[in-house]
Amino acid sequence: MTKSIRSRALKTAVGLLLAGTVTANAQDVVIWGGFPELTGYYERVAESLSGKYPDLNVIVEPIGLRDHEKRVALGLSSGLDDATILELIGSTANRYIVNDLIQPAPEGVSTFVNDDSNFEAFFQETAKVNGTVYGVPVFRGQGALFYNTDMLAAAGLEGPPTTMDEYDEYAAKLTQRDADGNPTVSGWSLRLSGGGGGIAEKFWINLHQYGGTLLEKDGDNYRAGYANEHGLAALKQYVDAVSGVKTVTVEMPADAAAFQREQTAMFIRESWVIGDTAKKAPDLNYKTAVLPRGSIALPVNLYVSGGSDEAQTAAWDFAIAANEPEHLIWMLDNVGWLPNRSGVDYSGVVAAKPQFGAFVDLPEDYVFFTLPSIEPINEILTRFAAHLVDAYADESLVGNDAAMLEVLKASAEETNKILNRAGILAK
C-alpha cells in the first residue's frame, strides 16, 4: 500500500499551507482540488498506485472552489516545496503558464495526452498552450436541461423544449403564480445573481443556442462577438423573463436547490446535479435533455508544480492513473462529473441513471465551446456580468430592442478595451 493517503479539508485556510501550519514530507504528493466531492475518487487512484509507489504519501486537500483559486494563486507565486497536483480549468491555468509558474508536462505525459485514442482534439487543446501540453485532462463541467416531469405533465406539456422559442413558451406555462399574479414557482430558473463569471457563462450558454458567441477568435486574437442580433436575442429572452412576463425573478430561489425543492420547473446545469439530487431529493421525478445547439464545456486538467524530480514523476503518474477507465466510471457513477477520456464504456452507469444520457449520448452535430485560455477572461466575464445584471432588472428595456442593443454595444466596447490592453484585440 501507499505509505499514507490522507484528506485535509481546508475550509477557509488559504494561508495555512503557505504559512507552514500544514507541512508535508519530501516524498509527499499533495493534491489541491476545488471540488471536495472528488476526494473519494482521488483516494481510489492513490490506492491503485500502491504497488508502484509503496512509500509515497498522497495528501488530498479539498477546499471550496473560490478559496482553491486563491490558494493556487498564492502558492504558485510563492513557490511550492512539495510536488503538488493542481486541479484547474484550462483558462485559469493559462494565467500561470504564460508567467512561467506552471511548467510543461514531460514527454511521456504529452504523448499520452496527444494520443487521439485517449482524448478528442477539443480536450487535447484545452490542456495545451501554444501547442505545448501542460496538463492532463480529467473531467469537465457541461450543461444540459433538467426538467420536472410532474410539472410538465400538469401543464399539459409532453417532452422537453427543443428550441429557444419553446423554452420561453414552456417557462410561461410552467410558472405558478399567487392570486395577485406574482410567480411562486419559476418556469425556468435563470442565473441572475452571484459570481460574475457564472452569470456571464450562463448567458453565453443561451447566446450559443442562438448561434452567437461572447468572444470571436481571429488568429491568436479576439474581439467581442455579442453586440449583434444573436446577443440581442439572448438578452431579450432574459429581460422579458425577468422584467416582462416575469416567469422568474431575482428574488426567487434558484439553481439546484430550487429544483430539488420543486421551486422551479426547469434549469440548465452540469451533471453533478444528478448525484446531488439523488442524495437530497431522491423521490423527485425529473429528466434531462440536450440543449438545442450545444453546450459550454469547461474541462478541468491536472497540472504539477513543485517538489523533487522523483516526486514530480509520481505526481504525473498519478494524473495518468486518474484516467484509468475503472476510476472514471466510478467518478461518473458516484460523483457525477463527466470524464474527458475517450473510449470508456459508460453505458452501465447511463442504464442505471438515465439522466446522464443528455450528457454522454450527444447528437453528432452538437457543438461545444469553452472559455478561451486568455489572461483577461475573468475580468471580461465579470465586467460583462455587471451590465447584464443591470439590464435584466431594467423594465424600460422590455420590448425596446434598440435600447438593449445599446447596452450590448457599450459592454462590447469595454470588452474590446480589456482585450486591447492585454495586446490580443483582433482588428
pLDDT tier for residue 21 given thresholds of 50, 70 and 90: very low
- Cα distances from 184 to residues 148, 175, 258, 409, in angstroms, run 16, 8, 11, 34
Q: What is the pLDDT of residue 4?
A: 47
Distance of CA 217 to the CA centre of its chain: 21
Looking at the structure, tell me whether residues 154 and 112 fall in a common domain: no
Q: Which residue is listed with cell 494563486? A: 73
pLDDT at 26 over 60: no
Confidence at residue 5, expressed as pLDDT on a 0 to 100 scale: 52
- Model pLDDT for residues 320-378, shown as the tens digit of each residue: 999 999 999 999 999 999 999 999 999 999 999 999 999 989 999 999 999 988 889 98
Say whether pLDDT at 22 is over 80: no
> At 41, which CATH number?
3.40.190.10
- Do 390 and 413 fall within a single domain? yes
Residue 287 shares a structural domain with residue 309: no
Q: Is the pLDDT of residue 17 over 90?
A: no
- Specify whether 10 is located in the same domain as 26: yes
What's the rounded mean pLDDT across residues 56-72? 92
What is the mean pLDDT of the segment spanning 97-114? 96
d(CA 394, CA 385): 14
Three-state SS across the chain? CCCEEEECCCCCCHHHHHHCCCCCCCCEEEEEECCHHHHHHHHHHHHHCCCCCCCCEEEEEECCHHHHHHHHHHHHHHCCCCEEEEEEEHHHHHHHHCCCCCCCCCHHHHHHHHCCCCCCHHHHHHCEECCEECCEEEEEEECEEEEEHHHHHHCCCCCCCCCHHHHHHHHHHHCEECCCCCEEEECCECCCCCCHHHHHHHHHHHHHHCCCCCEEEECCEEEECCCCHHHHHHHHHHHHHHHHCCCCCCCCCCHHHHHHCCCECEEEECCHHHHHHHHHCCCCCEEEECCCCEEEEEEEEEEEECCCHHHHHHHHHHHHHCCCHHHHHHHHHHCCCEECCCCCCCHHHHHHCHHHHHHHCCCCCCEEECCCCCCCHHHHHHHHHHHHHHHHCCHHHCCCHHHHHHHHHHHHHHHHHHHHHCCCECC
Does one domain contain both 180 and 278? yes
* pLDDT tens digits for range 377-425: 989 999 999 999 999 999 999 999 999 999 999 999 999 999 999 999 9
**Domain for residue 349, yes or no?**
no
CA atoms within 13 A on the CB side of 52: 13
Confidence check: pLDDT of 1 > 60: no
Residue 335: inside a domain, yes or no? no
Q: State the chain's mean pLDDT as an integer.
A: 92
Is residue 90 located within the same domain as residue 105? Answer: yes
Model pLDDT for residues 245-255, shown as the tens digit of each residue: 999 999 999 99
Quick one: average pLDDT of 102-127? Answer: 96
- Give the CA angle between residues 96, 16, 381 to the nearest 5°: 40
Distance CA 270, CA 141 (A): 6
pLDDT at 176 over 50: yes
Give the separation between CA 326 and CA 170, rounded to whole angstroms.
40
Q: What local confidence, expressed as pLDDT, does residue 238 receive?
A: 98
Task: Mark whether 232 and 107 lie in a shared domain.
Answer: no
Pair 234, 262 in one domain: yes
Q: pLDDT band for position 158 (50/70/90)? A: very high
| Residue 32 pLDDT exceeds 70 | yes
User: pLDDT-derived band of residue 25, with 50, 70 and 90 as boundaries?
Assistant: very low
Number of separate domains in the chain: 2
Q: What's the domain range around 384?
A: 142-293+367-421
For residue 7, is pLDDT > 90? no
309 plus 267 within the same structural domain: no
In whole angstroms, what is the distance from residue 32 CA to residue 148 CA?
Answer: 36
